[in-house]
Copies of this chain bind each other. A is one copy, B any other.
Amino acid sequence: MTDTRSKILSVAERMARSGGYNGFSFREIATSVGIKSASVHHHFPTKENLTLEVARLYEESFFAALGEFAPPGGTPESQLRHYCDVFKNAFESSGRACLCGVLSNEAEQLPQSVREVIAGFVSANISWLEQAIKQGSADSGYDNAREKAELVYCALEGAMGVAALKQDIGWITRVSKHARHAALMD
C-alpha cells in the first residue's frame, strides 16, 4: 500500500468516526492529506468504495488487536477484560467512538455494501464474545452465553458514544466493569 493511499484511509477513518458517512468529503480528506480531491478519486473512485475499504481495515485491525481466537487456557474473566480494553484503547487513542457504532446509526442511508460490512462486524464480535464467555465452562451448553455477549457488545458501543459525546473515558471504564460482571454471573 502506497504512503498516500494509507494516509487517505487514515484520514477518512478519523473523519468518518467524527461525523459518519455524511460527515466527510473528498475535498476535506484531500486538504488534510495535502493533495487535491481528484487525486483521492484516483485511489478510490467512489465514496462507497473508500468507505468500504475504511470499514474493512477497521474490522481487520480491531480483530488483530483482539486476537482472532481466544487464546487457549485464557479464563473468561481475562478474555472479557482484554475485549473491553480493545474498545477502551480505541477511544483513548482517538477520543472518538467506534466506527461501526457510528455507521450503524446511519444504516438506513448507507450504501448496502457498507451496511453489510458493519453487520458482519457486529456478528463477528458476538461470536468472539460468546466463545469467550463459554470458555472453560463446565456447562458447554450454557444457553445465555450468546445473549450475554449481546449485552456486552451493545453496552460497549453505547458507552463509546457517550464517551465521545462527553469526552470522558470514565464511561467506558465503568460500563465495561459492570457489563463484564453481568456476563460472568448466574
Question: Which residue numbers of A lie inside 8 Å of B, CB to CB?
Answer: 18-20, 22-23, 96-97, 101-102, 104-109, 115, 118-119, 122, 144, 147-148, 150-151, 153-159, 161-162, 164-166, 171, 174-175, 177-179, 181-182, 185
Residues of B within 8 Å of A148, CB to CB, are: 178
Oligomeric state, in copies: 2
Q: Which of B96, B122, B164, B175 contacts A162 (CB 8 A)?
A: B122
CB-CB nearest in chain B for A105: B102
A20, B153: Cβ atoms under 8 Å? no
A154, B165: Cβ atoms under 8 Å? no
B108, A164: Cβ atoms under 8 Å? yes
A20, B105: Cβ atoms under 8 Å? yes
